[in-house]
């Protein structure tokens, strides 16, 4: 049977960038005999408009059955005042939670043609290619007890950082597996100097390494130093593994090493299914960009590179992922630019579809 994909274009520019991914998928079918069973469904505001919920049970069930989910983006001003329980992002959170997508992969890769775009000096970022693995389903965003309580005559806000051994072990394994497919190097970041969960994190990562991945080069770093090193000399890293909170902050920091939001893909992986493939959802890092929706200005590259990650991590088609990433690199080197990639000296930007055309060519 063909591998299956569920496409959830979502809101705003989601459907615009996903249309270019559909063309890429069709290209692989027509030219490389790599055919997917593709189905499409609603998520976010468009699902709320039709069904009164940002993700129906039927859509959730379909997501559980397919080999991989591709998501565009959700949200927009029309939904900002909805009740929390039916907000578009609840659809996204439900997918992550029920599929148990605990390992969030955020690459920070600097294409040479865009090195001038980085917030840093060109020498520091040229050729950069690192991967941050963020634990996504536990830690301080989920730990109990939590809440705002009254203590005496003032209020206290409480969140609890909590990690079990197995939660740390599974995300560590995911980072080590990834490292073996890259430069075989993992740096684990926590704050073992001041946090109990940090001590456990460091111990468990080291134990998994020694028992199962002794061939991978492992180092440990305090997360605050990690933030500094990411900006000072990011090329020292290959794979960085870290918890939910530090990963949130460090991955946004790493993102700015590379330039536009329109370039950044991501993957969220869970445990292997019966067929050996991990539960998986792939999505661009950017949101629904209401300011440019419907104008043909959206950069489809983040979404296309998310599909390249699907080829690599869900379908074991690393060579085709390389082919697609190489096409993106070539069109950028040839000067193709959507509006978000235009420098201050201007020039004429191309449209979403024209960028898709260039990559396909
Ligand atoms: P955003 O990522 O949608 O946009 C931020 C800025 O980047 C805007 O100026 C936008 O035009 C630009 N931009 C983003 N993607 C681009 C692309 N592919 N090509 C060219 N330019 C691009 O973030 P914002 O404005 O904070 O949020 C807008 C809506 O998206 C909100 O409703 C928010 O909740 C939602 N959102 C959804 C996410 C998701 O679905 N994963 C993630 C972030 C925000
Ligand atoms: Mg963030």
CB 216 within 8 A of CB 184: yes
Selected from 2.60.40.1170, 3.40.718.10, 3.90.78.10, 1.10.101.10, the CATH number assigned to the domain covering 1-110+260-361 reads 3.40.718.10
State the pLDDT at residue 126: 86
Question: How crowded is residue 125: how many other Cβ atoms within 10 Å of its Cβ?
Answer: 23
State the pLDDT at residue 265: 96
Q: What is the mean pLDDT of the chain?
A: 95
Task: Report pLDDT digits (tens) over 9-18.
Answer: 999 999 999 9
Task: Report pLDDT digits (tens) over 15-49.
Answer: 999 999 999 999 999 999 999 999 999 999 999 99
DSSP string, 106-139: EEEE--GGGGGGSSS-HHHHTT-EEEEEEE-SSG
Residue 68 Cβ contacting ligand 1 at under 6 Å: no
Point out the catalytic residue in the list 37, 224, 316, 334: 224
1-110+260-361 and 129-256 share one CATH topology? yes
pLDDT higher than 80, residue 346: no
Residue of minimum CA distance from atom 34 in ligand 1: 75
Binding residues: 76-89, 96, 106, 134, 224, 248, 252, 287-299
pLDDT higher than 90, residue 357: yes
Sign of the C-alpha dihedral computed for residues 255, 236, 331 and 325 taken in this order: negative
Residue with tokens 């074991």: 316
Considering only residues 338 and 255, tell me which one the structure prediction assigns the higher pLDDT: 338
Task: Report pLDDT digits (tens) over 220-249.
Answer: 999 999 999 999 999 999 999 999 999 999
pLDDT higher than 90, residue 176: yes
The Cα–Cα gap between 68 and 280 comes to: 5
State the pLDDT at residue 78: 95
**Could you report the predicted ipTM of this complex, rounded to two decimals?**
0.98
Pocket test for ligand 1, best of 69, 262, 286, 342 (most atoms within 8 A of CB): 286
CA distances, 120 to each of 123, 240, 339 (Å): 8, 20, 21
- Domain boundaries, given as residue ranges, for the chain: 1-110+260-361, 129-256
If you average pLDDT over residues 91-112, what whole number do you get? Answer: 93
State the pLDDT at residue 118: 73
Residue 268 Cβ contacting ligand 1 at under 6 Å: no
Tokens of 278: 């991990």
Can 282 be counted among the known catalytic residues? no
Phi-psi label, residue 34: left if phi above 0, alpha if psi -120 to 50, beta otherwise: beta
Residue of minimum CA distance from atom 8 in ligand 1: 289
Residues 6+ apart with CB under 8 A from 237: 130, 185, 187, 229, 230
What is the topology classification, in CATH, of domain 129-256?
Answer: Isopropylmalate Dehydrogenase (3.40.718)
Pocket test for ligand 1, best of 46, 251, 288, 295 (most atoms within 8 A of CB): 288
b/e map 278-313, b = 16+ CB within 10 Å = bbbbbbbbbbbbeebbeebbbbbbbbbbbbbbbbbb
Can 340 be counted among the known catalytic residues? no
Q: Which ligand is nearest to the CA of 300?
A: 1
- The answer, yes or no, to whether the previous bond of 145 is cis (omega within 30 of 0) is yes
Q: Which ligand is nearest to the CA of 16?
A: 1
Q: Are strands 143-151 and 154-160 parallel, antiparallel or unpaired?
A: antiparallel
Residue of minimum CA distance from atom 5 in ligand 1: 289
Residue of minimum CA distance from atom 22 in ligand 1: 262
């Amino acid at each position: 049977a063909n591998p299956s994909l569920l496409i959830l274009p979502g809101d705003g520019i989601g459907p615009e960038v996903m249309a270019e991914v559909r063309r890429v998928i069709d290209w692989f079918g027509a030219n490389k005999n790599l055919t997917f069973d593709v189905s499409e469904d609603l998520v976010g505001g468009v699902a709320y408009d039709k069904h009164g919920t940002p993700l129906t049970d039927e859509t959730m069930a379909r997501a559980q059955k397919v080999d991989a989910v591709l998501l565009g983006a959700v949200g927009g001003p029309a939904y900002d005042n909805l009740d929390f329980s039916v907000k578009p992002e609840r659809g996204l959170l439900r997918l992550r939670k029920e599929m148990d997508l605990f390992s969030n992969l955020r690459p920070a890769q600097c294409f040479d043609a865009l090195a001038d775009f980085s917030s840093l000096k060109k020498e520091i970022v040229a050729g950069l290619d690192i991967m941050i693995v963020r634990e996504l389903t536990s830690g301080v965003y989920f730990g109990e007890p939590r809440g705002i309580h009254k203590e005496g005559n003032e209020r206290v806000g409480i969140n609890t950082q909590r990690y079990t051994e197995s939660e740390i072990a599974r995300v560590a394994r995911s980072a080590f597996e990834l490292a073996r497919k890259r430069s075989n190097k993992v740096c684990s970041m926590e704050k073992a100097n001041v946090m109990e969960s940090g001590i456990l994190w460091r111990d468990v990562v080291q134990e998994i390494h020694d028992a199962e991945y002794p061939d991978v080069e492992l180092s440990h770093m305090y997360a605050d130093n990690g933030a500094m090193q990411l900006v000072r000399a990011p090329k020292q890293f290959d794979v960085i593994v870290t918890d939910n909170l530090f990963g949130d902050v460090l991955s946004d920091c790493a993102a700015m090493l590379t330039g536009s939001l329109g370039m950044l893909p991501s993957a969220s992986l869970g445990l292997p299914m019966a067929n050996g493939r991990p539960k998986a959802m792939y999505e661009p890092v950017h949101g629904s960009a209401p300011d440019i929706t419907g104008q043909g200005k959206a950069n489809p590259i983040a979404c296309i590179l998310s599909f390249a990650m699907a080829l690599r991590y869900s379908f074991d088609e690393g060579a085709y992922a390389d082919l697609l990433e190489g096409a993106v690199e070539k069109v950028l080197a040839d000067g193709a630019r959507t509006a978000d990639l235009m420098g201050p000296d201007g020039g004429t930007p191309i449209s979403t579809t024209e960028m898709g055309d260039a990559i396909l060519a």
